[in-house]
């Protein structure tokens, strides 16, 4: 019987191709921890714990969590699907999901175990995820056959209008069909978005992401100004502070532009609060917030069952975390009337990949590996 024998945490730093600036932080490099889970047959599964203020995790905290309490939970157990006489593997994933360890650290171990499980049955991770429901719950996840590619948007970091316009023109020429513009409280949002629309043209889908930068009244004024200017913004992401459900609901009710919850949504309990407040019609699900694929799939299933629009997103991450999220996103149907682009451009900001094999980018397209699991061969 194949069992998990080793759990390794690899500290990784990778330079970015430019400054990544939002309302809450600015970065010039990716700091992350890659997890390698090795089974008794010598296979390696991979996961990632992105490090930042957003994930509420430092490298030292991630390594201590992974090599300590999380290793104690999973080592010696089977990482694959439960057999007919045991539910041990699902119990291991359930234990990870219920652990009080940081979400991003749990994400890394959860994804590594899913990668191993898919390899053991010879399936890509997307195909593995499409073949059953988390926790054995009927109807708990999408059943469509996964695609081999996923489209992503491209983020424009906080910058003056002329710089945003120049970047928009570059990404438009590169074939991107959806741009997400980061906002902060100091910028002239209307001038910035006019510049982006002029540079990108009428066919480009535009999103805005305030990363909690505004109060409700300010957010409403800004979004209405964009609407009145006819700039056709597809969605406004997290305009107010996380946890202020009343403010999020106030913005959603006062504007025509659909509002998306991001930093507000980490768990199923958060989703229940969002639904109770009728706070937003759209949600951004990220594995670093949900703690991995098991809880992420349950979030996805409930959000869709409640009629919410879903975008699968990411932090600044390497192709390890991006591939896991894209595998989940590959199961989603294309929603009529809304862009097909997911929010998975984090890996495009890296100067190089820290791993060989796995998913890769070709402009707006993420091409998933055809090898079993995530298709990662090792550190590069």
Active-site annotation, residues: 182, 286
Greatest CA separation for the chain: 64
The label of the residue with tokens 């438009």 reads 172
Q: Annotate 122-191 with DSSP letters as a single string.
A: T-BHHHHHHTS-GGG-TT-S--SPP-SEEEB-EEE-S--HHHHHHHHHHHHHTT--EEEEE--TTS-HHH
Using CA atoms, how far apart are residues 272 and 75, in angstroms rounded to an integer?
33
Q: How many of the other CB atoms lie within 10 Å of CB of 305?
A: 10
Measure Cα distances from 317 to 29, 221, 255, 314, 330 in Å: 10, 33, 32, 7, 18
Contacts of 81 (CB under 8 A, 6+ apart): 89, 117, 120, 121, 132
The label of the residue with tokens 């190089």 reads 352
Buried b or exposed e, range 244-277, using 16+ CB within 10 angstroms: bbebbbbbbeebebbbbbbbbbbbeebbebbeeb
| Contact in structure between 33 and 107 (CB atoms under 8 Å) | no
Name the 3-class secondary structure at 377.
Answer: strand
Cα angle vertex 341, ends 336, 347, to 5°?
Answer: 165
From 134, 144, 128, 138, select the one nearest 335 (Cα to Cα). Answer: 144
The radius of gyration of the chain from alpha carbons, rounded to an integer in Å, stands at: 20
From 233, 232, 239, select the one nearest 260 (Cα to Cα). Answer: 239
Name the 3-class secondary structure at 86.
Answer: coil
Name the 3-class secondary structure at 80.
Answer: coil
Q: Is the dihedral of CA 92, 96, 99, 105 positive or negative?
A: positive
Q: How many of the other CB atoms lie within 10 Å of CB of 24?
A: 14
């Amino acid at each position: 019987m194949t069992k998990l024998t080793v759990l390794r945490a690899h500290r990784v730093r990778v330079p970015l191709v430019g400054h990544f600036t939002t309302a809450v932080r600015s970065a010039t490099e990716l700091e992350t921890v890659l997890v390698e889970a090795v089974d008794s047959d010598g296979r390696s599964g991979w996961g990632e714990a992105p490090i930042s203020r957003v994930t509420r995790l430092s490298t030292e905290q991630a390594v201590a969590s992974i090599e300590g309490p999380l290793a104690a939970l999973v080592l010696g157990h089977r990482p694959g699907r439960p057999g007919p006489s045991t539910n041990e593997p699902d119990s291991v994933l359930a234990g990870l999901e219920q652990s009080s360890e940081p979400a991003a650290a749990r994400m890394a171990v959860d994804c590594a175990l899913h990668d191993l499980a898919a390899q053991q049955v010879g399936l890509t991770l997307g195909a593995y995820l499409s073949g059953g429901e988390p926790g054995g719950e009927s109807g708990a996840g999408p059943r469509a056959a996964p695609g081999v590619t996923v489209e992503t948007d491209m983020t424009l970091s906080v910058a003056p209008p002329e710089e945003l316009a120049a970047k928009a023109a570059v990404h438009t020429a590169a074939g991107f069909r959806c741009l997400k513009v980061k906002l902060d409280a100091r910028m002239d949002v209307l001038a910035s978005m006019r510049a982006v629309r002029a540079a990108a043209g009428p066919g480009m889908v535009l999103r805005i992401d305030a990363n909690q930068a505004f109060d409700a009244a300010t957010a409403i004024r800004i979004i209405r100004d964009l609407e009145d200017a006819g700039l056709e913004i597809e969605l406004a992401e997290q305009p107010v502070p996380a946890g202020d459900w009343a403010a999020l609901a106030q913005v959603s009710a006062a504007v025509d532009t659909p509002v998306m919850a991001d930093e507000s949504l980490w768990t199923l309990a958060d989703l229940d609060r969002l639904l109770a407040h009728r706070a937003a019609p759209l949600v951004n699900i990220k594995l670093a917030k949900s703690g991995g694929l098991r809880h992420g799939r349950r979030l996805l299933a409930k959000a869709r069952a409640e009629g919410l629009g879903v975008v699968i997103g990411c932090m600044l991450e390497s192709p390890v975390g991006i591939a896991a999220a894209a595998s989940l996103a590959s199961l989603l149907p294309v929603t009529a009337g809304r862009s097909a682009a997911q929010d998975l451009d984090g890996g495009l900001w890296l100067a190089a990949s820290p791993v060989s094999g796995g998913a890769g980018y070709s402009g707006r397209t993420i091409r998933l590996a055809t090898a079993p699991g995530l298709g990662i061969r090792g550190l590069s």
